[in-house]
Structure 1
Amino acid sequence: MKKLSIAMLSMVLAGSMLLTGCGGDKTPAQDGADASADTATEYKLASEGKLTMATNAYFDPWEYYEGENIVGIDPEVAQAIADKLGLELVITDMDFDSIITAVAAGKADMGMAGMTVTEERKLNADFSQTYASAIQAIVVPEGSAIKTADDMAGKKIGVMQGFTGDLECAKQFGEESVVRFNKSAEAVMALTQGKIDCVVIDNEPAKKIVAANEGLSILDSKYTQEDYAIAFAKDNTALRDAVDKALGELIEDGTVEKIMNKYITAD
């Protein structure tokens, strides 16, 4: 599913904490930053000395709760970026479709939540380079009449609110066909109870759903393929450029691949 080979195991990051300040102060990169960080660069941060990441922590293995901590691929990549910039990582959990709004308003510095770059989202946010590719999969009950994406016409389709599956299914099949959920567990419950006919979700969460719920399967045909990137406020180009530089170095030196290899098993 991704541009990189991938496997499972998790690594707990610093605990999730709520944002305590949201001023527009400019804060230079902190002393002790990785040599890759330009210490002369000034970043506009939501909270001085901290890199605040807005996410939706119900998208295993990209981000999810382990006890009270938010862990997963995105938090680990974000931690590596923060380390390079000499900043403390702060993770804030919220509804997925509130992430870009929070970033645009300066309440968070960046949005990282298995987020696909779309033309609609680019109207309200800038994005980093791509760090992973994803497939939207279709989960159905075993024996379902839905065999391909075309068969979803006229069916009740469960989607994650604001995710690409939501946007694409609403566009292709109409608003009346889409049933939105904030958590994948809610969508799975509705599917097993026969309230919806299928669920469209990223392939990796889909595999975990099927493994944990007997009687569900993933169709062989994918729904869409897309690229994941980090979202920034349009007026925060200094931070975007600094994060993008750090991210590029982490991709180049294999750090991003190593992180993904902990969480996602290559097919």
Structure 2
Amino acid sequence: MIKRYCSALLMGAVALIHNGVTQAGAIDDAVRRGVLKVGTTPTYIPFEMTDKQGRIVGFEIDLLKEMSQAMGVELELVAVPYTELLPGLLAKKFDIIGSGMTVTQERNLKLNFSDSFIVVGQTVLLHPSLAGKVTSVEDLDDAGYRIAVTEGTTGEVAAKRFLAAARLSSFATPEEGVRQVVNGNADAFIHDAPYNLIALSRMQNSRLLLLEQPFTFEPLAFGLKKGDFDSLNWINHFLNQVAQDGTYDRLHDKWFKDTGWLVGVD
């Protein structure tokens, strides 16, 4: 009886060891493969976007390039619509999500997040006809206002939460949302502060008004499968390293202080 019990314990231990080897984390898989596959939606200026040569560029993309170099692997960007990021990760189409994703409690139930690499918040772009009429997001909580958002984003969630009385329309890309306001089909567009600030600098959007004060607190981070703690550990140490050695500040200045890159963006 004791021998059979010990044998069962030994078999269980062997199975656990075997599973640990065969179910390596995303970072281990990428190192073994020689390629880090990252799911991204290249429509979030200046984090990930497409330049005039069709390349995906941006602040988060540069962080991912530094990450892949630190791992000694190539970086492969897998472009998908924002709503397909989580399903794509679960279907193993890519190793991690790197797409300006905000850490929320709801999302955290479905995937793990790294430490935040930047904190942003939602701001409002207004049609010029609302000058002096709307001075805060609370003023837009009225059935007479039409609000444009990008589907699947925290901007959409924030609009539903703070502007329940307004008429909400969701669009596939933030560019389309801004265009609705420019063309007078919407009164306001809600999206992350960095995007709205840069969108306002474009000639076709220059007449829009910006409520600069963010009305939400949103940390952005890389997304991984639940339980992949080895990969989380590696990525968090990487983020700490680039924060300490000046790499993060250099990349941040490149995309948030300089604006020369705008002419090369599609």
Q: TM-score range by the shorter chain?
A: 0.7 to 0.9
Partner amino acid, structure 2, of 1:140? L
**Percent of aligned positions that are identical:** 22
Deviation at residue 240 of structure 1 after TM alignment: 2.4
DSSP 3-state at the match of 1:174: coil
- Tell me if 1:60 matches 2:50: no
Tell me the CA shift for residue 176 of structure 1: 6.8
**Which structure features the higher share of helix residues?**
2
Name the residue aligned to 2:155: 165
Deviations 1:92-127 (A, max 9, x none): 111112212212222111111111110011011101
Deviation, structure 1 residue 46: 11
d(CA) in 1 for partners of 2:62, 2:175: 23
User: What one-letter code is carried by the residue in structure 2 that aligns with 1:173?
Assistant: L
Structure 1: which 5+ residue stretches go unaligned? 1-23, 30-41
Letter in 2 for 1:60: I
User: Which of these residues, 110, 115, 138, is aligned with residue 101 of structure 2?
Assistant: 115
Structure 1 residues 214-233: aligned runs within 5 Å: 214-233=206-225
Kindly provide the amino acid, as one letter, of the partner of residue 128 in structure 2. Answer: E
- 230, 244, 253: which one aligns with 1:261: 253
1:49 aligns with 2:34: yes
Query: Gapped runs of 5+ residues in structure 2?
Result: 1-20, 259-266
Larger radius of gyration: 2
TM-score normalised over the length of structure 1: 0.79
Q: Tell me, in whole angstroms, the C-alpha distance in 2 between the residues paired with 1:89 and 1:25.
A: 23
Deviation at 1:260, TM superposition (A): 1.0
User: Is the Cα–Cα contact under 8 Å of residues 25 and 48 in structure 1 kept in the other structure?
Assistant: no
Q: Which amino acid aligns with 2:114?
A: S
Cα displacement (A) at 1:27: 7.1
Cα separation, partners in 2 of 1:26 and 1:46, compared to 1, 3 Å: farther
Paired letter, 2:221: A
Which of 86, 99, 114 is 1:128 aligned to?
Answer: 114
Q: After superposition, where does 1:75-224 map in structure 2 within 5 Å?
A: 75-144=61-130, 145-154=133-142, 155-174=145-164, 177-212=167-202, 213-224=205-216
Q: 1:72 deviation in Å?
A: 0.3
- The alpha-carbon deviation at position 236 of structure 1 amounts to 2.6
TM-score in terms of structure 2 length: 0.79
Q: CA deviation at 1:241?
A: 2.0
- Whether contact under 8 Å (1:26, 1:45) holds in the other structure is no
Is the 2:242–2:248 Cα contact (8 Å) retained in structure 1?
yes
| Residues paired across the two proteins, number | 231
Q: Secondary structure at the match of 1:260?
A: helix
Distance 1:160 1:223 in 2: 17
Q: CA RMSD in A?
A: 2.4
Runs of 4+ in 1 over 4 A off after TM superposition: 24-29
Match of 1:239 among 216, 231, 234: 231
Shift of 1:143: 3.4
